[in-house]
Structure 1
């Protein structure tokens, strides 16, 4: 019998296989672990950093791939009162997680099917057009709503030229929140930050009874002038995002690992992967890993990204394919065992450093992770 496999000879039972040295779950594909305690610690750090304002939580896009229900429940237990989602259909999971007493804002406001879902799950729409304001106040004059004013990003929101009309429409039923969003908050010296701040102050002055919110993650780092009543951190909760003040200690909350399926040697001049885009310049040891673009890992990592084994870095060589990639393990003290995992996001591999290597941002890297990646939530850091 081969030392690496055992085959049942009982014809009445299914044939089973086991791989020496690998636990059964290790070969089941890539997996992620979300550390809810880390998210809670990041939230507390943000509360302390912006201590004169309320700290909400953006949990849209399944909490940037971290699990909206699990994250929202954890943050609600930490005292978070205000949550933000993009679509009404994201609201059911969050409402069930946080209970009836928390505020859940819907960034995208009213769409064709949204009023029913908004009412059903007790959500608060943020209106982005004058028509939405009129529709909401005519249909639900006694229910809360918010207003989003576009102060310069030119993407979504009421225009400043609408301000007088919206004031008139809402005079008897003011919004519970007015908000805007900065275009260049991740560039602290950009002139647009101060320009948008001044425009937003005009909006705030027009709605003295309403809470005001300008800052998402990056704008929260620009100082107290940008904080107003409520900040809306998203990626910061999960330990990513742009450069932050040194006193604000945040940690990535997710690790993504994938198992080694094969280890083999190649000679100088041999290639690996589709298109033969990588050629070995000298004898090398390579490992095939069960992670590909169908799992949400970027194909742009081909010949450029890297993973981290417990014994050292493993550069990606060749193209990332749908289900697989190949990494260089030549420089490890010994080849990785079949079934051992290589980390692609986490404490060793990082998040933003991975995103930078792939030409993207941490937001995209975690949000696009696919359903084939098994997920586990742990309460501790």
Structure 2
């Protein structure tokens, strides 16, 4: 009995409660979104419940593998992810069709669409975490040279999956990959003498490209062979009413839905604004319309609680590998939340990034649940040693 009690004490009940609340929010929002009549006989709610069950099974397996084993498996999972990305790029369209201009999914009869890049995010986090820990173990004396070497290692490790993802092309997931790299670089111990110049140069380059897109798009088309239509999302974001019937259609509908929800919303299933594909990327618009500012704030609050819990887990552990893993997961969740909610209210341009744990999508949910499985594992294998104020994890 004591053995079962000890195992129960090691289980992360806080994370379980948060995931259960996300499950309830997701089910309510998807049920309402699919009631618009656009989807015919498709029952996305039932499928989302199914994917949550699969996600729970993934967690139940992941929790019993400790950090040491994940560290050993990291390169195998990373390689497996690269094989999946290469396979989806090379596969015939009968298996990996082109949809919305991107070839990002395998279509499996009886199951649906599987998007490998959703799993590659977590595989990359494990690989980068191992790169950092192994580098510090092999270079005990820290210099600018060793820091620059670590930066190169991280960059190369990230560049391979990033390149394969951009070949699809999938800009949204590419940005998520970059957010993982950014988060891990910031806590990797690399000197700020290296980080500041590199990120300043990157920010300057981004600002220059943005300027050219707005002011001199002909320059990009003439010298870089970039087609101006590729910037329509930026134009639609900055001036949506000039593109109301084309690239700004979703944005204007989303703004109308969220704005009409006012403070308390119109009530469950009382939607009036039609938004295509509302059950996926624009699920927050459904929440904003039906539950208003109050409901939207509660959802944002849940994400803040989740991120706080992940930060606390990263700080509690004394195993650097696990700390880096938590940081990568925090980077993914934070970027997804800010980008998805931001694009529904015109704070950010529209990209195909779902709202974690709430938007419909099997690959996204399974990938996120695997990431949560890593957090469960870190908590479950957490050990406190007598006569020590430090907490430790299995190596």
Structure 1 length-normalised TM: 0.27
Q: Which has the bigger relative contact order, CA under 8 A and spacing at least 6?
A: 2
Higher share in strand:
1
